[in-house]
Structure 1
Amino acid sequence: MAHTPVNHPARPIYRAIGGLVGLYFLVFGVLGLVASAGNDFLAQDDTTVLGQGTNLGFSLLSIVLGIAILAGTVIGRNLDVAINQWLAYALMVLGLAELAFLQTDANIFNFTITTDIVVLTLSMVLLMAGMYGKVGTDEENEAWQKARLVL
């Protein structure tokens, strides 16, 4: 994509930000796993972790997301860019779906409004990290520079 920055000067910072999002999901998932131990997999109760509603299913999903994001961050080579972008879009869909079903029995991950705000915010941060973390050749960087200067 010509509009996606290549070799952005702040890409190490964006990569670190993506890693922090992955670390947050991992820590939240582990704490949620401990807090919801013994409950049903998709229980809709008052289990909260870090002020957010969760259940065993969302805790396990958070652990998987955190590991995937951290693995992409460690590997790099634009794999982190792809993982961050795709998971950001998936988290946006999840957050909007859970927002639509927040007060219904279809709230399978036991989201609260706080959980929804955090998931949607982290998805935007992850998308930003994916958009500015791309590494490329000098030719790709030159093509991007020329494309952005076209009015």
Structure 2
Amino acid sequence: MSHTPVNHPARPIYRAIGGLVGLYFVVFGVLGIIASAGNDILAQDDTKVLGQGTNLGFSLLSVLLGAVILVGVVIGRNLDVAINQWLAYALMVLGLAELAFLHTDANIFNFSIVTDMVVLTLALVLLMAGMYGKVGSDDEHEAWQKARLVL
């Protein structure tokens, strides 16, 4: 993708932002596991963590997503870019699906509107981190500079 920046000057900051998103998912998931211990995996009750509705299933998924993001950030080498972009798209799909099913029995992850807003916001932040964190050679950077200056 010629429109994706290569060797952006702020890429360490974007990488750190991606790591913070991963850390948030891990912390949220661990707190959710503690709060929903003893409940069914896909329980639809009033369990809330950090003001967001959750259940054991979404808490486990959050820990998994956060761990994958953090592993990608630690490894780097554009693996973090791919992970951040793909998980951002997946989180957008999840957030929109849960928004559609918010007040129905199909709300399997016990989302509240606050949970949905947080997931969609974190998906956009993760996508931004993925878009600006790409590392490449000097030739790739030069090609990107030339491509972005063409109108």
Task: Give me the TM-score of the superposition, normalised by structure 2.
Answer: 1.00
- Cα distance in 1 for partners of 2:136, 2:2 equals 12
Name the count of aligned residue pairs. Answer: 151
RMSD of equivalent CA atoms:
0.2
Partner in structure 2 of residue 46 of structure 1 = 46
Amino acid at match of 1:81: V
> Structure 1 residue 15: deviation in Å?
0.1
- Cα distance in 1 for partners of 2:80, 2:30 equals 22
- Cα distance in 1 for partners of 2:28, 2:15 equals 20
- Cα distance in 2 for partners of 1:141, 1:83 equals 21
Task: Give me the TM-score of the superposition, normalised by structure 1.
Answer: 1.00
* 1:90-129 CA distance string (max 9 Å, x none): 0000000000000000000000000000000000000000
- Structure 1 residue ranges without an equivalent (≥5): none
SS in structure 1 of the partner of residue 102 of structure 2: coil
* 1:37-64 CA distance string (max 9 Å, x none): 0000000000000000000000000000
- Structure 2 residue ranges without an equivalent (≥5): none
Amino acid at match of 1:139: D
* 1:61-85 CA distance string (max 9 Å, x none): 0000000000000000000000000
Runs (4 or more) in structure 1 with deviation over 4 Å come to none
